[in-house]
Chains A and B, each alone.
Chain A
Amino acid sequence: MTEVQTDSLASTRRWAIGLSLAAAAGVLATLWMVFFYVPTESTMGVVQRIFYVHVPSAWNAFLAFVIVALCSLGYLWLHDDRLDAIAVSAAEIGVIFTTIVLTTGPLWASIAWGAWWVWDPRLTLTLLLWFIYVGYFMLRGATENPERGKRFAAVLGIVGAIDIPLIHLSVLWFRSQHPKPVILKPEGPTADPRIVQTLLLGFLSFTLLFFALLLLRYGVERMRRSVEALRYRQAMDSPVTHDSQGVYR
């Protein structure tokens, strides 16, 4: 088992602050580009601007899921508590970005498709990803033994990661009506270069935001665990005494 190093948190915090500043600048620049730089898309109109938040959020949601799966695998293998701390932090950020995707998507779809929700492969996949995340947190919360809770969460993280491609495959087989990619095509992007630039900056700044949040959350999680360990040790060291009402002190 790897030894827990508490001094590494100082550098984690430095990185977290640096990344947060970069992410804040990036997100502000993306917003400026979305509102003042990028041209209005010709067929969908102004509602298409939500796309620059929607797609990078979806990217972050799936990035989080991959990190959860890899850290879960590592945790079951190495039993390193830090990997579990990263997994739980990534899962929390993942559920936030999945919620953003599931909110911005219907807002756009209600105008572009005339329906708030359709059972399209990518929508279904994101919804199920959200449910797997919800199960992940419920499972941790409902397990009394924390070590067992970590193992259970890791098992769900791994099985979920294997299942997500299968879900996608099955639903694709079922039907598809999500708009086809217009940026990533073999013959090169057909969209206006300003649209591509805005989207790329969106990806970059949301990815920075993701890692900034991950490091911040990871620092908090590690601190929470050391506080818990200290409290436990204190309770073990001090003799149990009763006051006159028989209440433990």
Chain B
Amino acid sequence: MSAFVRQVLAIAGKDLTLEARSRERLVSMLTFAVLVAVIFSFALDPTVRGRSIAGAMLWVTVIFAGMLGLGRSFASEREQDALLGLLLAPLDRSALFLGKFLANLLILLVTELVIFPVYALFFQLPLGRGVGGLALVVLLASVGFMALGTLFSAVAAHTRLGETMLPILLLPLLLPVVIFAASATQHLLIGRPLAEQASALRMLLAFDVIFVVVGALVFGAVVEE
């Protein structure tokens, strides 16, 4: 295992250990997501079938819950100037980015593992048949979301506005991911075959590659003192 991969895993391991011990992000993201589902079910007209707008509801919830978690992503680094310690360590800047990204991604995926069944339960969504394809869409969209999210949560953490700044920076840039994720999810949930979503999946994969590479390249400029 190369030194770079070890560095990435060390950073991701540190964040995941912190999260496993405190569980503060998982608990807040999940509570928030379930509450949004409750709000949706009462805000929507009773004649609207949840199934016909499930893609939109799910991704609105995932994006906002994910942003809630990202707001805390650099909280431990800000306290006592822990980021300075990380920067002084013999650690590649892009390894730092990829490690934080990996931890954020895993936390989001765990949340999604709960959000999707909860929505299926509340809105009578047929998760059974297309679950493999759905998992692929969720994974690809989450990678792009968290790549941009990790980069801009580091930016937002250093501003006076803090977490308030994050959605303003992130939401416009996330539109491509949201478009393809919501449309593919919606089509899979109404029983369309996965093969029809090939172009959406390819686009999501392309966004993932672009956002991860760009994030790893410019992250140094964000964290440097």
Contacts and interface: CB of A to CB of B under 8 A. Distances in A.
Interface residues on B, range: 20 to 34
Contacts of A156: 155, 169
B151 interface: yes
B189 interface: no
B179 A174 contact: yes
B158 interface: yes
Interface in A200-220: none
B118 interface: no
Interface in A158-188: 158-160, 162-163, 166-167, 169-171, 173-174
A95 to B, nearest CB: 14
State the majority secondary structure of interface residues on A.
helix
A172 to B, nearest CB: 10
Contacts of A154: 221
Interface stretch (B6-14, B50-58, B170-178): B170-178
State the majority secondary structure of interface residues on B.
helix
A193 interface: no
A225 interface: no
B89 interface: no
B148 interface: yes
Interface stretch (A21-29, A37-45, A132-140, A239-247): A132-140
B218 A76 contact: yes
Contact of B203 (A128, A135, A163, A173): A173
Interface string B89-125: 0000000000000000000000000000000000000
Nearest to A140: B159
A162 B210 contact: yes
Interface stretch (A10-18, A102-110, A142-150, A227-235): A142-150
B222 interface: yes
Contact of B176 (A144, A155, A169): A169
A163 B155 contact: no
Nearest to B173: A163
Contacts of A155: 151, 155, 218, 221-222
25 contacts: A131-B171, A131-B172, A132-B172, A132-B173, A138-B165, A139-B169, A142-B161, A143-B158, A143-B159, A143-B160, A144-B159, A151-B221, A151-B224, A155-B155, A159-B214, A159-B218, A162-B210, A162-B214, A166-B176, A166-B210, A167-B176, A169-B176, A169-B203, A170-B180, A173-B199
Interface of A: 76, 124, 128, 131-132, 134-135, 138-139, 142-145, 148, 151-152, 154-156, 158-160, 162-163, 166-167, 169-171, 173-174
Interface of B: 148, 151, 155, 158-161, 165, 168-169, 171-173, 175-176, 179-180, 183, 199, 203, 207, 210, 214, 218, 221-222, 224
